[in-house]
Amino acid sequence: MAEVDRRLEGLDAGGDMDHDENITELCGFKAATGETRTLSEGRTDDSLRNAALFQAMSDVAAIANSAASQRAKLTRTSFKEYIASRLKNSGHTAMSSPIVFVVVHALTKEQVTENIQLVLDEGATGVFLVNHDFDYPEMLPIVRQVRGQFPNIFLGVNFHTLNGADAFPILGRLSREGIKIDAYWADNACIEHDRADQPQATAINQVRQSSGWDGLYFGGTAFKNPKNHAKLCKPVPPEHFKDVAAYASPYMDVVTTSGAESGVAPNMDKVLQMRAGCGETPLCLGSGVSAENIKSFVDNVDCFFVATSIQKDNHYIDRTKLRELLQAVQV
C-alpha cells in the first residue's frame, strides 16, 4: 500500500510518469493499448482478439463521450425525466420521484452485493459506492463485479477525496472495458466562492470532455469537511452560499451540498440560498436526510444521498430504516 500511495502522490503532483500507463498499472486495467501498438505476426489469436475488442470499446466510448458533450444541460425537470427514463430502461421497479440514492461504504464484494440487493428490493433509485476504508484502486474490482452482477442498476461512485480531474480518466478506462458508471460524485468540485471565474473547475471540465466517460457529474459544493482535509471543500461563509451555487452550476450536472458533517442536515436557509443560486440546475442534498425530515426538503432539493440515517452500522443498510424513509417521502 505504501508503494501505491507513493505512485498516487506522483500522479497528484503532476510528476513525469505517464498518467494513462500508471492508471493501468495501479488500478488493474487491461494494458491492451500497449498490445495494440506492438502487434506482429508472432502474436496469438487471443492477443489479436483482445486488441480488437479494446479498440471497439474505445470507439464506443468516444462516440458516447461526443454525444454527452453535445447533450443539453440538465434542468430540474429534464434531470428527473432522465432518471425516470434510465430506470424504465433498467427493468427495475425503483423510485424516480423524489430521487433517493443509497450510499454504500464499500468493504468487500459480498458486503456490497448484499446491500445492493436490499436497495433493489426496497425500490430506492440507485446506489453510490464510496471507498472510505481503502484507496480507490482497491474498490475497482468491487465496481467491476457489481456492474457484472447488476448490469441495469443505476450505479454511481465516489472515489473519496479525488476530484474530477483524477477520477474522469479512470471512469473513461472503465467505460472502454464495458463497465458503465452512471454517475460520479466528487467530494470537492473545486468551486471558489469569492470569484466568478473558476480556473480549477474549468480544468476539471476539460478533463471530463476528453475522458471518454459520459455519465452524470455530481459536484461537491459548500460540502462537509469537518476535519479540514486539504483535498475537500474549503469553508464557505453563509453569505456566499447563493454565489457559490451560481458559480458551480455551469460546471456540473448536479450541484451537491450538505450539512456541517455526516448525519447532520443543513439548515433550511442554506438550502434556500443554494436553491436560489442554482436556478434550474439540479441540487442534491448529501447529509442528514432521514425519514423525519426528508419531506421538508423535497420542494427545493431534486435528489438525496442517504446513508447514516438508514444504517445498521457503517457498512450495512438497515432494511426497516430504508423502507421507512422511502415510505415517508411518498406519503
- Three-state secondary structure of 218-257: EEECCCCCCCCCCCCCCCCCHHHHHHHHHHHHHHCCEEEE
pLDDT the model gives residue 8: 41
**Domain-ending residue, one of 44, 68, 92:** 68
Query: Where do we find the cell 432521514?
Result: 290
pLDDT attached to residue 60: 55
The answer on 96 and 42 residing in a single domain is: no
Residue numbers of the chain with a pLDDT score lower than 50: 1-19, 31-37, 39-40
Other C-beta atoms lying within 10 Å of the C-beta of residue 58 = 18
All cell numbers assigned to 97: 420521484
Same domain membership, residue 54 and residue 89: no
> Residue 278 maps to which CATH number?
3.20.20.70
Domains of the chain: total: 2
**Structural domain span for residue 195:** 73-330
Is omega for the bond preceding 250 within 30 degrees of 0, making it cis? no
Same-domain check for residues 162 and 272 = yes
Same-domain status, 134 and 27: no
Q: Which of 46, 68, 90 is the last residue of a domain?
A: 68
Predicted pLDDT at 64: 53
Same domain, 79 and 201: yes
| 37 & 142 share domain | no
Per-residue pLDDT at 162: 97
Q: Which of 234, 127, 108, 122 is nearest to 181 (CA)?
A: 127
- Whether 9 and 131 map to the same domain: the answer is no
Is there a single domain that holds both residue 26 and residue 81?
A: no
Looking at 15, 47, 68, which one is the last position of a domain?
A: 68
